[in-house]
Amino acid sequence: MSAISIGQAVVLGAVEGVTEFLPVSSTGHLKIAEGLMGIPVNDKTVVGFSAVIQVGAIAAALLFFSKDIVRIVGAWFRGLRNREERYHHDYKFAWWVIYATIPIVVVGLAAKPLIEGPLASLWVVAGSLILGSGVMWVADQMGRHKRGEDDTSLKDAMWVGCSQILALLFPGFSRSGATMSTALILDLERVAATRLSFFLGIPALTGAGIYELKDAVGSGAAVAPLAIGTVVSFAVAYASISWLLKFVAKHSFNSFVIYRILVGALLFGLLGMGVLS
């Protein structure tokens, strides 16, 4: 029998859609929502459900950035056939995304027992939310925001790609928060940092969703909640992406920093009072 009902799937899909690409930790918010609804956060089916509904959010990103993705993938294929095309930035960028995804895949597979076990604790989530807030604030302050998307390099992609490991090991740190912060430290402007975070997140999150599919559909009863949660995640994430790109064009990350600290403090309070375990 599924550990997640239809109603809970709708709620979790909406939480995933809103938070996947915002630098507030989708994993952290999902675990908080699961805890408040009495869902066992360490259950393999629940862990798989959380990973698979991410694919809905990733599908929204694929649709939103479809023109960019078609351009980059097209340049990659042309470069494989034509040596002259290999000097094009899009061809190089496609390879950079591939290279930058390898570290998180290796760590994800090697550390899977820890990620699904001790590190899945809500205490870890709370601490990571607050610690990640400090990193985001420092990165936003020290970054000079002078480099655009066309100025990125393999070094940038590798640093940003590797930073995803922080969010993988410490749920609550936020994959978006880690990647955007790293990009800002490398002096990318906020919009460029945000877009780079999207492009590097697509293969890693899609791969995680596919890998976890076997656990998420471990029983026939899990299929309906999984499908509904994924559809809701897709719809909400599309709107969230559009809003985020407009927001970062004119604002700093301070609002996210304050929000994360408040959520982390609230979570510590709920855990300390025994409301959540």
**Per-residue model confidence as pLDDT tens for the chain (277 residues):** 457 889 999 999 999 999 999 999 887 788 888 888 888 766 777 777 887 888 899 899 999 999 999 999 999 999 999 988 899 999 999 999 999 999 999 998 898 888 878 888 889 989 999 999 999 999 999 888 889 888 899 999 999 999 999 988 998 898 999 999 999 999 999 999 999 999 998 888 888 777 776 666 654 446 888 899 999 999 999 999 999 999 999 999 999 999 999 999 988 998 898 877 7
**Upper half-sphere CA count for residue 65 (Cβ side, 13 Å):** 21
In this structure, the chain runs to a length of 277
Chain center to CA of 190 = 17
Cα 229 to Cα 1, 47, 88, 101, 246: the distances in Å are 17, 13, 39, 26, 26
**So what's the pLDDT on residue 63?**
95
For residue 228, give the nearest of 1, 25, 16 by alpha carbon.
16
Token code pair at residue 125: 């989530």
Q: The tokens of 21 are what?
A: 């690409």
Give the long-range contacts of residues 140-146, CB within 8 A, separation 24 or more. Answer: 140/181, 140/184, 140/252, 140/253, 140/254, 140/257, 142/184, 142/185, 143/184, 143/185, 143/186, 143/187, 143/188, 143/193, 144/187, 145/184, 145/187, 145/188, 145/189, 145/190, 146/187, 146/189
Place of tokens 């990350």: 253
The pLDDT value recorded for residue 161 is: 94
Handedness of CA 182, 53, 30, 43 (dihedral sign): negative
- From 68, 52, 44, select the one nearest 20 (Cα to Cα): 52
Q: Where are the alpha helices (DSSP H) in 20-111?
A: 26-36, 44-64, 66-81, 89-110
Alpha carbon of 140 to those of 164, 187, 197, 251, 252: distances in Å?
A: 18, 9, 15, 11, 7
Instruction: Quote the tokens at residue 270.
Output: 């709920």
CA 14 vs. chain centroid, Å, equals 15
